[in-house]
């Protein structure tokens, strides 16, 4: 094995460890923020705008994901990469906004009754479960795509894309369902 190949493998091992660490740390941090007994009220009332912004971000990310799929089917690799980078960046912005909001605001209770309540909680629970595991395959898919490791990228994307798309779309749906119950 050449020195160059060894260095590439060592770098990839470091990246994999970083991806695993981030994929575990972020859901744990979000869980702590959601369940912390005291919210950071010093951030002020402006944070109550963030759920609305998050819905716009998730909608834009969903559109970017659809365009990314269209472009890869058309073999427009540079467009695919660009739209997936947009989706990735939007996801990062969403995550920061989500963390800020949930560190400062109490969770809103869903007020619907009957079948709509069951639908809401089904969507919410599946959204949360998939969001908690989504980062792992998304980061690997993005890394493999960015480093032009197409075979590895294709294998991971079979799992990453549907999870990412589901989380993105259900985020918007859950927002639309709960938004009438926001008090601010």
Question: What domains, with CATH codes, occur in the chain?
Answer: 3-181 (1.20.120)
Q: What is the distance between the alpha carbons of residues 137 and 142, in angstroms, rounded to a whole number?
A: 8
pLDDT tens-digit profile of 56-94?
Answer: 999 999 999 999 999 999 999 999 999 999 999 999 999
Identify the pLDDT of residue 103.
Answer: 86
First to last CA, the chain: 61
Q: What is the distance between the alpha carbons of residues 171 and 60, in angstroms, rounded to a whole number?
A: 12
pLDDT tens-digit profile of 136-164?
Answer: 999 999 999 999 999 999 999 999 999 99
Q: Is 87 left (phi over 0), alpha (psi -120 to 50) or beta?
A: alpha
Of residues 165, 177, 174, the one with CA closest to residue 61:
165
């Amino acid at each position: 094995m050449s020195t160059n190949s060894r260095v590439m493998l060592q770098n990839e091992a470091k990246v994999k460890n970083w991806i695993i660490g981030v994929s575990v740390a972020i859901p744990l941090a979000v869980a702590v923020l959601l369940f912390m007994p005291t919210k950071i009220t010093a951030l002020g009332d402006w944070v109550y705008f963030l759920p609305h912004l998050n819905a716009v971000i998730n909608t834009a990310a969903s559109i970017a994901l659809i365009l990314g799929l269209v472009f890869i089917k058309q073999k427009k690799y540079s467009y695919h990469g660009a739209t997936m980078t947009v989706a990735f960046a939007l996801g990062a912005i969403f995550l920061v906004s989500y963390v800020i909001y949930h560190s400062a605001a109490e969770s809103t209770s869903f007020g619907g009754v009957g079948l709509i309540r069951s639908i809401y909680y089904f969507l919410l629970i599946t959204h949360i479960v998939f969001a908690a595991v989504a980062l792992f395959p998304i980061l690997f898919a993005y890394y493999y795509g960015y480093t032009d490791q197409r075979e590895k990228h294709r294998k991971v994307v079979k799992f990453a894309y549907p999870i990412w798309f589901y989380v993105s779309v259900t985020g918007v749906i859950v927002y639309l369902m709960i938004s009438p119950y926001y008090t601010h």
